Amino acid sequence: MQGASELRRFGALHYVIDLVAVGFTRELGPLLTAIAVSGRSGSAFAAEIGTMKVTEELDSLRVMALEPVEFILAPKYLAALISVPCLSIASNVCGIFAGGLFMFFSTHLAPLQYLHYVLASIQLRDVITGLIKSVAFATIIAHVGCLEGFRVRGGPDSVGRSTTNAVVKSTFLVIVADAVFTAIFYLTVKN
């Protein structure tokens, strides 16, 4: 909407469709999803593993000759690898749908026509870039969350600290990774 108010001044309101479609598939969809997952699941990973550490469940896995990294991190990582790209796609769809609503109410653009413009402006490359990003974000979130959980020492207060660290670090790293990917993508397109 903020972009649209600027574009309206130049009579370029129809560019909102390009902005929404490309912006969401390439950038905002994966990024917003990763930040939400980082807050929801990264913290949960750290809290769950940290609690397991405090209650000697990790020790009990080791003495059962089971490797905690294989047993705990691997399933969470695989789940994140599947769920984060899926959620990113859902986020893209929701964002584009919201753009359609905005265009309908602001310019009375027919939904089918909006969809036609969206499909014309999105390239497969944009979608793939977004999905590659979301896979990288999933890797960051799962590993930072689990690592913070494994690093818990002492009692329940340490679990709280690790949970906070997991959210702060994974959100920061997701934003840094997003900037790196965007830079790479920008340079690739330029050349």
Partner 1 sequence: MAIISVRDLVVEYEGRRILDGLNLDIEQGETMILLGGSGSGKSTLLRQIIGLERPKSGCVHVKGVDITQCSAAELKTVRRSIGVAFQSAALFNSLSIADNVALTLREHTRLAPSIIELMVWMKLAVVGLADFGKLFPQELSGGMKKRAAVARALALSPEILVLDEPSAGLDPIVSAELDELIVLLKEAFQMTIVVVTHELPSAFRIADRIAMLYKGTFSSVGTKEEIRASTNPRVRQFLDRIPDEMAKTPAVAAYFEKYLQSPEAN
Is residue 155 a contact residue for partner 1 (CB under 8 A)?
Answer: no
- Binding to partner 1 (CB under 8 A) within 94-123 occurs at none
Max intra-chain CA distance, the chain: 69
At its nearest, how many Å lie between partner 1 and the CB of residue 38? 22
Return the range that interacts with partner 1 (CB under 8 A); candidates 23-31, 64-72, 123-131, 137-145.
64-72
Q: Binder to partner 1 among 1, 65, 187, 189 (CB under 8 A)?
A: 65
Q: What is the DSSP string of 136-190?
A: HHHHHHHHHHHHHHHT--SSHHHHHHHHHHHHHHHHHHHHHHHHHHHHHHHHHHH
Is residue 188 a contact residue for partner 1 (CB under 8 A)?
Answer: no
Binding mask 7-46 for partner 1 (x = CB under 8 A): ----------------------------------------
Q: What is the total residue count of the chain? A: 191
Tell me, rounded to whole angstroms, the distance of Cα 10 from its chain centroid.
33
Helix, strand, coil percentages, rounded to 5, for the chain: 90, 0, 10
Identity of the amino acid at 85 = P
At its nearest, how many Å lie between partner 1 and the CB of residue 65? 4
Q: Smaller CB distance to partner 1: residue 28 or 61?
A: 61
CA distance 41 to 60: 24
Is residue 66 a contact residue for partner 1 (CB under 8 A)?
Answer: yes
Tell me, rounded to whole angstroms, the distance of Cα 108 from its chain centroid.
32
Is residue 60 a contact residue for partner 1 (CB under 8 A)?
Answer: yes
- Contact residues for partner 1 (CB under 8 A)? 55-57, 59-60, 62-66
